[in-house]
Structure 1
Amino acid sequence: MSGLAVGWALIALGLPLSGVLALAGDALGRDFAGVLASRFAGLLAVTRPWMWFAALYVALKIPVPLWPDGFPVLGLASTGALFVAALLFVWERENAWKAGLMALVAFVLGLGVEVLGSRTGIPFGVYSYATAPGPLLLGVPLIVPLGWFALTLTATSLSGGRPWLAGLLMLLWDVGLEPLMTAQRYWVWSDPLPLWAGAPVQNFLGWWGVGWLISWVFTGLAPRLFGLRREEWAWALPWQARDFPPHRGPSLSLLPGGAARGADFRVVYPIEAFFLPGGLVLVGRYVEAGVTLAAMLAGLWLARRVTRFDRP
């Protein structure tokens, strides 16, 4: 039966693709192969290296419904691909030194707070990685510190370089991560005051705080990456971080005509807003899926509202 189900799933995936190819053939006429090859070559010419790894990150999520037991392998590979995409994105926009430093800071801070949190309950609450699948680093699943870099870069990009908003976007992201990752036994909560999926209020405040801290460091190391001037970065008070009119470079657009050069890492957030609720549906967490979708869409709406005056 499982083989039959896989077969039908592959057919279901193939039918839309065959329809698209048929329509494309009708639209392009007799020289379908030549036009397709030409357009593919044009696509290759404008596609940046980080985009290939971002595409791989998405592609590795697709087989999960066909191979549920492979979630640890696919999840780690997908997050690893996203980590490399984030590294290459910063390298392209800034330089290799800043890319490496930002990745190192996020990885070390993320790993550090997870080691501290799983042993002391600070800053997230009482939880354990005892049931987590490997590989582990200092008792923490490797997928976790890898994720802190890419997720915070996405949130900081989406927030327009506002650490307080980036932290909030991370908090809303964790609304979906908690029920999904606990269902997959990556961590187990034993906090006496659970609020959501076993996690206490403290956990979400911790996510906001750690997200704010890493984002704050990011905007200090590479303010131009997020459209900021150096003087716009506040060393002391988080609410002062955007007291200046923002300086914006070229428009970051996904439209044709410079699309690849202007494509921005913030696109990862809406992608996750689709896949994360989908993952919860697959493990039977329907209510959590709906709440996660609503939370992440609210985050996208808020980011759009807050950053709407950033465009020149």
Structure 2
Amino acid sequence: MTTRAAPRVPVRVLPVTAWLLGGGVVLTQIVYSMTDPADRLPTTVLSVVLFCLASVLDAASRLGARAAGVLVAVAGGGGLLAEAVGVHTGFPFGEYAYTGSLGVQVLGVPLVVPMAWIMMAWPSVLVGRALVGRGRARGPAWAVVAVAAWALASWDVFLDPQMVDAGHWTWAHPTPALPGVEGIPLTNFAGWLLVAVLITGALHALLDDPGPDLRRGPAPALYLWTYGSSVWAHAAFFDRPGSSLVGGLLMGAVAVPFAVALWRAHR
């Protein structure tokens, strides 16, 4: 008696599902901007969950299930470890505390926080690989990691002011700060850059680099959406023109060249 093999899930299901999740991210964030500030928590969490899942499936569709597992372990586990150490010791970000508004916590860190590290770490690696080079023209690993880490850490110039203003965490010593980004200490951005180097460096070392196909999967588009929508939202909705300008310049240093690369890939 012969047994029939279980039907395989078509490979195209992964990128299609990732694109659907990416569309959900955009829709959720649009709803967020139209919601009263006191009622934004559900859309905050939902957008992170959808973005995280989209990034994981994007990685799986490009490099297989192992890549998705590595992404979750390195970015999620590494982000959780860094945040747990940070919230209990003040290193490497500075002394801060979560207010408890973001829901379930693990080791004193809201579960949604390591998911945020996952969601942006993967697109940031793709940014680094795309801008430094790919295939035979691939640049040195240190350069890929430097660009990827900047792509990830510069996003926090938008994230931290928004979340502090929403009351999700507080800083014990919010000065000195970046000009125009009041309330967030410089130590936080230094800590982000350090952790971003470690996470993106590990991901780049552990995952194959056949060259990022910028035409496949939502991660590249979601990175650029995050950049553009953050510049707009901080200027128009959050009354943070300073962080809109500074974040626009710092994250734009990689986001704008990446947008050009994405445009060329689709020509």
TM-score by length of 1: 0.68
Measured at CA, do residues 192 and 185 of structure 1 come closer, stay the same or move farther in structure 2, by a change above 3 Å? Answer: closer
Correspondence for 2:27 among 43, 49, 59 = 59
Aligned to 1:105: 74
Aligned to 1:168: 150
Correspondence for 1:279 among 233, 236, 260 = 233
Q: Which residue identity lines up with residue 134 of structure 1 in the other structure?
A: G
Task: Describe how 1:1-312 pairs up with structure 2 within 5 A.
Answer: 48-68=16-36, 69-130=38-99, 132-160=101-129, 162-191=144-173, 193-196=175-178, 197-224=182-209, 227=210, 248=211, 252-253=214-215, 262-263=216-217, 265-280=219-234, 281-301=236-256
Measured at CA, do residues 290 and 187 of structure 1 come closer, stay the same or move farther in structure 2, by a change above 3 Å? Answer: same
Shift, 1:271, TM fit: 0.3
Measured at CA, do residues 170 and 98 of structure 1 come closer, stay the same or move farther in structure 2, by a change above 3 Å? Answer: closer
Distance 1:274 1:303 in 2: 12
Q: Which runs of 5+ in 1 are unaligned?
A: 1-43, 228-247, 254-261, 308-312
Aligned to 1:231: none
Q: Is the 8 A contact 2:22 2:51 kept in 1?
A: yes
Shift, 1:99, TM fit: 0.8
Q: Which residue identity lines up with residue 71 of structure 2 in the other structure?
A: M
Distance 1:171 1:57 in 2: 20
Measured at CA, do residues 159 and 208 of structure 1 come closer, stay the same or move farther in structure 2, by a change above 3 Å? Answer: same
Out of 180-189 and 215-224, give the one that drifted further: 215-224
Distance 2:217 2:174 in 1: 44
Q: Does the residue aligned with 1:218 lie in a helix, a strand or coil?
A: helix
Measured at CA, do residues 191 and 84 of structure 1 come closer, stay the same or move farther in structure 2, by a change above 3 Å? Answer: same
Shift, 1:82, TM fit: 0.8
Measured at CA, do residues 264 and 65 of structure 1 come closer, stay the same or move farther in structure 2, by a change above 3 Å? Answer: closer
Rg (Cα) greater in structure: 1
Q: Does the residue aligned with 1:188 lie in a helix, a strand or coil?
A: strand
Shift, 1:192, TM fit: 6.2
Q: Does the residue aligned with 1:123 lie in a helix, a strand or coil?
A: coil
Distance 1:125 1:47 in 2: 38
What RMSD in Å do the two structures reach over aligned CA positions? 2.7
Q: Does the residue aligned with 1:283 lie in a helix, a strand or coil?
A: coil
Q: Is the 8 A contact 2:127 2:254 kept in 1?
A: no
Distance 1:141 1:131 in 2: 8
TM-score by length of 2: 0.78
Q: Which residue identity lines up with residue 290 of structure 1 in the other structure?
A: L
Structure of higher RCO (CA pairs closer than 8 Å, 6+ residues apart): 2
Q: Does the residue aligned with 1:128 lie in a helix, a strand or coil?
A: strand
Shift, 1:46, TM fit: 11
Shift, 1:105, TM fit: 2.0
Distance 2:84 2:13 in 1: 43
Out of 180-189 and 297-306, give the one that drifted further: 297-306
